[in-house]
């Protein structure tokens, strides 16, 4: 029987194990899981910490016993320490402190990513937390239960920072967000970020921009943060959310190559530079469908897809990863922001000739109660009228996420913006209009484009 070994028990690793079993019921993949929480939704941590998800076990995509019923062997609290790529052996530390060797015929590395540790003094003080894995969330939860903090500082205004600002406010904690950049949510254009900042401040979240925190210290049982521009703040807890870094410790010295941002270098089949070794998920590079090159863009949706493809190819398949478009969405209080493809400045840097058009439109027929305005920024190529990207903002319930998915689908197929009007999209007055907002925005872009031809 072929020995398929998988390092990592999150999205990519479990997807790989289950796909292998779908393709070959005679194989029993072994999955090394560094903690006790295989296949948990890390994206759900802010909602567990907010109290909206009351039991952390509900974050499991699948229970461990269900995964094992499918035929995968889970080795919990088994951490891969070293990969001998030439000899096909992985050295592992076990829960009892022993070191064991696991041979393999095929290996899939799905170790994920770790929280970036910025150069701030005091990151290891009690009450200062990085948030990436289940154990991190338990530490935050325990601190809030025991200490009942009245205030918190969040360093970083990306997706996790924004969701945690919402989560901690939901818990009745006074929140200050500190961001080094000049605006929040760098994944979208600055004026979209400005709307997000206004939403935060409307919910009594203090936002401090253009400030880098350089030190955290204990002071009278609380935490004192200091930084540039004379910044100082005394608070009860600190969440550090400044991004993530590929977790590649086991490959050190193995000869397995790394690429963009030190992620494991893979081709579109997810193969590394060693035969029989694949990598998938947040530890690996990602091929960008629009840019036509490798990048590093860690997303749960990508990890699930890459895990399946890596497993298929490890078993002799010929599947190619079809690429990412960076499609993302985030809910901040009652505001939802989504994006896909390239922003205008990104498109220019990639050599396109972009033009962006903003449209404000009702999410459904205005005569039906509850209609809300949505804002859509559509970016296309002046040279050929093809879609390059979209950003969208609207109130929770206005289906921002599904509408950004329409643009993502158009991007995937390289559609011209004019073709979006031809799509047969659903309509009923409480939910949309005969011309859906994505089509209204597409028509507005075409009108501007033709006027400038």
pLDDT of residue 333: 97
Does the domain spanning 328-452 belong to CATH 3.50.50.60? yes
**Residue carrying structure tokens 């829960």:** 95
Domain boundaries of the chain, sorted by first residue: 4-114+245-314, 128-240, 328-452
Q: Are 342 and 380 in contact (CB under 8 A)?
A: no
Residue 169's SS3 state is helix
pLDDT of residue 2: 85
Could you tell me the strand order of the sheet in which 277-279 lies? 73-76, 30-33, 4-7, 106-109, 277-279
> pTM of the predicted model, to two decimals?
0.95
**In terms of C-beta density within 10 A (0-12 exposed, 13-18 middle, 19 or more buried), how is residue 180 classed?**
middle
Q: Are 337 and 191 in contact (CB under 8 A)?
A: no
Beta carbons within 8 Å of 296's beta carbon, 6+ residues apart: 246, 260, 261, 263, 285, 286
Give every residue of the chain whose pLDDT is below 70, as ranges: 1, 453
What CATH number matches the domain at 4-114+245-314, 3.40.50.300, 3.40.50.2300, 3.50.50.60, 2.130.10.10?
Answer: 3.50.50.60
Does the domain spanning 128-240 belong to CATH 3.40.50.300? no
Could you report the per-residue pLDDT of 329-382, keeping only the tens digit for each?
A: 999 999 999 999 999 999 999 999 999 999 999 999 999 999 999 999 999 999
Alpha helices in 2-149 (DSSP H): 11-23, 45-49, 64-69, 134-147
- 328-452 and 128-240 share a CATH fold: yes
Residue 115's SS3 state is strand
**In terms of C-beta density within 10 A (0-12 exposed, 13-18 middle, 19 or more buried), how is residue 276 classed?**
middle
Distance CA 306, CA 109 (A): 11
Please state, in angstroms and as integers, the Cα–Cα distance from residue 371 to each residue in 95, 168, 334, 366, 368, following that order.
55, 29, 14, 5, 7
pLDDT of residue 1: 64
């Amino acid at each position: 029987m072929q020995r398929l070994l998988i390092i990592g028990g999150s999205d990519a690793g479990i997807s790989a194990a289950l796909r292998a079993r779908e393709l070959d019921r005679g194989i029993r993949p072994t999955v090394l899981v560094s903690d006790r929480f295989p296949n948990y939704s890390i994206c759900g941590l802010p909602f567990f910490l907010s109290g909206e998800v009351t039991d952390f076990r509900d974050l499991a995509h699948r229970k461990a016993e269900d995964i094992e019923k499918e035929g995968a062997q889970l080795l919990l609290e088994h951490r891969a320490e070293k990969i001998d790529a030439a000899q096909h052996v992985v050295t592992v530390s076990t829960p009892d402190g022993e070191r064991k060797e696991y041979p393999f015929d095929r290996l899939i590395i799905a170790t994920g990513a770790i929280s970036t540790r910025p150069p701030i003094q005091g990151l290891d003080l009690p009450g200062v937390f990085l948030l990436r894995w289940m154990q991190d969330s338990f530490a935050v939860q325990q601190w809030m239960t025991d200490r009942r903090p009245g205030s918190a500082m969040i360093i970083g205004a990306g997706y996790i920072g924004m969701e945690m600002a919402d989560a901690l406010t939901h818990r009745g904690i006074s929140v200050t967000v500190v961001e080094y950049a000049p605006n929040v949510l760098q994944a979208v254009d600055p004026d979209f970020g400005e709307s997000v900042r206004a939403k935060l401040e409307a919910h009594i979240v203090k936002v401090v921009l253009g400030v880098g925190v350089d030190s955290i210290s204990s002071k009278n049982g609380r935490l004192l943060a200091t930084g540039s521009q004379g910044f100082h703040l005394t608070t009860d807890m600190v969440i550090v959310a400044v991004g993530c870094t590929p977790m590649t410790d086991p490959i050190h010295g193995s000869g397995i190559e790394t690429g963009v941002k030190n992620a494991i270098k893979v081709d579109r089949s997810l193969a590394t530079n060693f035969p029989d070794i694949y990598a998938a998920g947040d530890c690996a590079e990602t091929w960008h469908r629009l840019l036509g090159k490798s990048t590093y863009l860690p997303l749960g949706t990508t990890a699930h897809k890459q895990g399946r493809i890596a497993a298929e190819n490890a078993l002799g398949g010929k599947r190619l990863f079809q690429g990412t478009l960076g499609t993302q969405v985030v809910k901040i209080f009652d505001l939802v922001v989504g994006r896909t493809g390239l922003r205008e400045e990104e498109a220019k840097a990639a050599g396109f000739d972009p033009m962006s058009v903003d449209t404000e439109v009702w999410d459904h027929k205005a005569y039906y109660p509850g209609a809300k305005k949505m804002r859509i920024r559509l970016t296309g190529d002046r040279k050929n009228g093809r879609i390059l990207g979209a950003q969208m903002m609207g109130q929770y319930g206005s289906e921002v996420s599904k509408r950004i998915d329409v643009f993502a689908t158009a991007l995937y197929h390289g559609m011209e913006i004019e073709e979006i009007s031809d799509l047969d999209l659903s309509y009923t007055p409480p939910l949309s209009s005969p011309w859906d907002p994505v089509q209204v925005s597409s028509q507005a872009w075409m009108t501007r484009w033709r006027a400038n031809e």
